[in-house]
Structure 1
Amino acid sequence: MEYLKQIGQLNPPYLLWSALGLFVIIFIRYLIFSGVYHHFFHNWFGDRFRHRFLSISKLKRKQIRKEVYRSAISAAIFTVLGMGMIVLWQRGHTAIYTSFDAYPVWYSVLSVLLVLIIQDTFYYWLHRWMHLPGVYRWVHKAHHMSLQTSAFTSFSFHPLESLLQAIVIPLLVLWLPLHIGVILALLMFMTLSATISHGGVEIYAPNWARHWLAKWLIGAAHHDDHHKKFNYNYGLYFTFWDTWMGTETPDFKERFEELTRKEEAV
């Protein structure tokens, strides 16, 4: 497309308007996901899901305002990285491709899993680094100020943490072939996953923690333990690293079953 070529050529008006449009898309997507998710469970169907709430306290508007403010800054950082990725793509410096014929269909599926595993591994160790005393205060404390998480917490980070979290895909596309559709799907999944894990409501089924595959996926109760107990559950999408490194909440599975079993009496 000629429009994308103009961005690659660093045409100022195209860069400016594209960056503004991308920021609006990222930030509005966050607001829509977070707002709909929060109101669905807490307002529209609150009575039905109340037994699955991870906190009985009502979320304060002051906290939501701070989270939205920080999320706007995060969206701006994501925009800068996104624009940089587009510029590099148009200049031929990435492995992004647009035709599904370039690689077998199975590779598209494999590339999604590969990116998620790489990103999860990177984040686990980044997360543990951010909890070091000398780092935590300056980088990660802003996110942990949301002791009671909500869907609005999903993008609420210190600017440096936002940068470090978002850098993975821009770096991967420099050498890992990814279809543009795969990248867009990954970005949507990342938003949905962050919303679910911070949503403050456990949406997964009672047998989730026992299922051979599902037990490796992180939900709200798992990440809520991290915000409340601090030194456990560092994973992003999967529980692999927490299990292998012994950093999963010792009684998580029992707590999860107790939480979800309550619905049998509802």
Structure 2
Amino acid sequence: MIQITSPATLGLTALILFIAIFGRYVLFSLTFWWLFKVSLKEQFAHRAVQTRPRKAGQDWREIGWSMVTSLIFTGIAIGIILAYQRGYTKVYTDITSYPLLWYPASIVLVLFIHETYYYWLHRWMHWPGVYKWVHKTHHDSITTSPWTSFSFHPIESTLQAIIIPALTFVLPLHISAVGLILLIMTLSSAINHLNTEIYPHNFDRHWLGSRLIGATHHSLHHTQFRFNYGLYFTFWDKWMNTESPDFHRLFSKKTQKETQPVE
């Protein structure tokens, strides 16, 4: 892990981290945007989940908010590095420090905790007194795109960012496992906000697909507001009866083999 030993290395580390975090967002967003809006546009045209035009300048507003989000993520990452250097976290670099089985188990456990934290945080952010101050910025993107994936108010960005760093203080996590979790988070967010369903027909009924959130599932949250609060997985929405009743019908319609006009 990077060692911060002076104000100069602190500034350089912050710059490198910001480029890595914001660059990762741009890379994933640009890749999905180009792939499904340019390269495969004709093949996936009928899979667009929403047809409401995006607001003028929406892409740039989302990118602007995403830069702020990336700055916040960078600040928190610097804090974790400093805590690690002082021995406060349980992040480890020697893969043999714990049984190898713990490596995948730790990733699954963190994703479960993150999902649980986010589901209930998300429901709280929809309370009327909270929504306009914290979550409205993200919901200004009613018709989403990959650029929406990091577009949050700074308060929401901070609330979203603290859970995984907090877990490094209580759970032993290999440094590469932390990186993999963050990669999964970015990839999942880009897919969920794509507004084009990329999963195959009947995947929503598959043992795996029924548990994963995709573009159709999350786009319904942006249009209906009171359903589909999950982040990676659907289990909390199913357990709490907050999965949209329109999900399976819309997913089937958007993924049927024959191309049809978009409504």
TM-score band w.r.t. shorter chain: over 0.9
CA–CA distance in 1 between the matches of 2:105 and 2:229?
24
Q: Is 2:199 the counterpart of 1:204?
A: yes
CA–CA distance in 1 between the matches of 2:55 and 2:37?
13
* Bigger Cα displacement from structure 2, 193-202 vs 203-212: 203-212
TM-score, length of structure 1 as denominator length: 0.95
Q: Match for 1:132 among 127, 130, 143?
A: 127
Higher helix share: 1
Deviations 1:62-91 (A, max 9, x none): 000100000000000000011111111111
Q: Match for 2:214 among 216, 219, 223?
A: 219
* Bigger Cα displacement from structure 2, 156-165 vs 96-105: 96-105
Post-superposition shift, 1:30?
0.8
Q: Match for 1:72 among 60, 67, 71?
A: 67
Q: Would the aligned equivalents of 2:54 and 2:141 in 1 still touch at CA under 8 Å? A: no
Q: Is 2:57 the counterpart of 1:46?
A: no
Post-superposition shift, 1:56?
3.0
CA–CA distance in 2 between the matches of 1:264 and 1:110?
41
CA–CA distance in 1 between the matches of 2:241 and 2:218?
15
Alignment of 1:172-183 (within 5 A): 172-183=167-178
Deviations 1:83-137 (A, max 9, x none): 1111111111000000111112211000010000000000000000000000000
Q: Could you list the runs of 5+ residues in structure 1 that have no partner in the other structure? A: none
Q: Could you list the runs of 5+ residues in structure 2 that have no partner in the other structure? A: none
Post-superposition shift, 1:255?
1.7
Alignment of 1:7-156 (within 5 A): 7=4, 9=5, 11-57=6-52, 59-60=54-55, 62-156=57-151
Count, aligned residues:
260
Q: Secondary structure at the match of 1:212?
A: coil
CA–CA distance in 1 between the matches of 2:8 and 2:131?
39
* Bigger Cα displacement from structure 2, 119-128 vs 23-32: 23-32
Post-superposition shift, 1:251?
2.5
Deviations 1:15-50 (A, max 9, x none): 011101110111111111101110110111100111
Aligned to 1:170: 165
Deviant stretches of 4+, over 2 Å: 55-61, 263-266
* Bigger Cα displacement from structure 2, 101-110 vs 69-78: 101-110
**CA RMSD of the aligned region, Å?**
1.3
Q: Secondary structure at the match of 2:169?
A: coil
CA–CA distance in 2 between the matches of 1:61 and 1:114?
41
Post-superposition shift, 1:209?
1.0
Q: Would the aligned equivalents of 2:53 and 2:143 in 1 still touch at CA under 8 Å? A: no
Deviations 1:181-228 (A, max 9, x none): 001111111100000000111111112111122201100000000000
CA–CA distance in 1 between the matches of 2:100 and 2:83?
25
CA–CA distance in 2 between the matches of 1:234 and 1:77?
23
CA–CA distance in 1 between the matches of 2:225 and 2:51?
19
TM-score, length of structure 2 as denominator length: 0.96
CA–CA distance in 2 between the matches of 1:31 and 1:58?
22
Paired letter, 1:148: T
Deviations 1:152-182 (A, max 9, x none): 0000000010000010111000010000000
Q: Secondary structure at the match of 2:152?
A: coil
Aligned-residue sequence identity (percent) comes to 49
